[in-house]
Amino acid sequence: MSDLKPIIVPESHNYVAAFLTLGCNLTCSYCINHFGLPASVKKHISGEEWVKGLNRIVSREDLPLTLQGGEPSIHKDFIYILNNIKPELKIDILTNLQFDVEEFIAKVDPERIKRDAPYASIRVSYHPEVMELEPLIEKVQRMLDANFSIGIWSVLHPTQEDVVREAQEICTAKGIDFRFKEFLGEYEGKLYGSFRYEGACDKTFKKHVLCKTTELIMGPDASVYRCHSDLYEGRAPVGNILDPEFQIEEIYRPCDDYGHCNPCDIKVKTNRLQEYGHTSVEIEFPEDESEAV
């Protein structure tokens, strides 16, 4: 038995994510991981350590642990992690499905990654600039035949809208759930996305604010971050789930990096109950201290 105390996810929280790695086996030009400064090299921890930390988490039936990245399947112990997370913790996976699906089917119970939700538990990202659609469809169909809860999502990037809409038609005709994701980020000098706080992602100024998150975001060494921007840009974490004392605090934390936020944290989106209007962070502006950079 672990001597680490449980980490109770507060009712206010809408997302619990373990970024097993920020590395990926693909190179999409619009990858949100590279919105800000290049991610600093991150320490990775073993599957055993991940399981030790993640099994402290006490979440709700409708709030799964999402394994993501980068590409989570390139973690050397990906399947070990899946198979050793305690059954009380539901699991979702965000993946580009470049892994060996036959090995996955042989080693993972489809019931383990399944829950009562309005969308698939394994959410595959389709990136037309670096992926062929047909082989992807074959892999998804193989996983569906093996009884996995799996669907495809694709970003409506301005350069690939037509091809993504066509892919949806092809997949829908084959009985595959295919959904669109809003493009968040910059293209030809324009910032795409619906954001709650003006200028937060402009990267043209920095301002002191107070910020509170509704997400438990864990980086590749199990450190916990205030937001995606902190994770991707290598700012100091607020804790680590392997620290025996770690508990989630529902507090506003001071931040001097407002203006360099990541679109994932600021965009207006649908929460886990499929309700629109949610934002990952709540920001308060104590005083006007803009500083041009």
Give the span between the Cα atoms of 227 and 213, in whole angstroms: 7
Q: How far is CA 47 from CA 20, 65, 81, 157, in A?
A: 9, 15, 5, 34
Nearer to ligand SF4, 77 or 265 (CB): 265
Residue ranges in the chain assigned as alpha helix (H): 47-54, 78-84, 101-107, 133-145, 161-173, 228-233, 263-266
Interacting residues with ligand SF4 between 1 and 30 (CB under 6 A): 24, 26-28
**How many positions of this chain bind ligand SF4 (CB under 6 A)?**
26
Which is nearer to ligand SF4, 52 or 128 (by Cβ)?
Answer: 128
Of the two residues 30 and 50, which places its CB atom closer to ligand SF4 in the complex?
30
Distance from C-alpha of 41 to C-alpha of 38, rounded to nearest angstrom: 9
Q: How many residues does the chain have?
A: 293
Asked whether position 125 contacts ligand SF4 by CB under 6 A, the answer is yes
Write the interaction track for ligand SF4 spanning residues 43-82; mark x where CB under 6 A is met and - where it is not.
--------------------------xxx-----------
Residues between 154 and 173 that touch ligand SF4 (CB under 6 A): none
**Residue 122 interacts with ligand SF4 (CB under 6 A)?**
no
DSSP H helices in 19-155: 47-54, 78-84, 101-107, 133-145
283 binds ligand SF4 (CB under 6 A): yes
The CA distances from residue 287 to 183, 209, 223, 256, in Å, are 32, 8, 30, 12
Cβ nearer to ligand SF4, comparing 122 with 255: 255
Which of 13, 56, 114, 127 binds ligand SF4 (CB under 6 A)? It is 127
Determine which residue in the list 82, 261, 264, 267 makes contact with ligand SF4, applying CB under 6 A.
261
> Contacting ligand SF4 (CB under 6 A), which of 114, 257, 264, 279?
257
Q: Does 230 bind ligand SF4 (CB under 6 A)?
A: yes
Q: Name the residue nearer to ligand SF4 (CB basis): 142 or 253.
A: 253
Q: Counting contacts by CB under 6 A, is residue 269 touching ligand SF4? A: no
CA distance 185 to 202: 10
Residues 159, 26, 104, 133: is their CA dihedral positive or negative?
positive
Q: Give the whole-angstrom CA distance, residue 153 versus residue 148.
A: 16
- The DSSP-derived string for 38-56 is PPPP-----HHHHHHHHTT
The smaller minimum CB distance to ligand SF4, of residues 51 and 140, is found at 140
Nearer to ligand SF4, 167 or 209 (CB): 209
Q: DSSP letter at 186? A: E
Residues that bind ligand SF4 (CB under 6 A): 24, 26-28, 31, 33, 69-71, 96, 125, 127, 209, 211, 226-227, 229-230, 255, 257-258, 260-261, 265, 281, 283
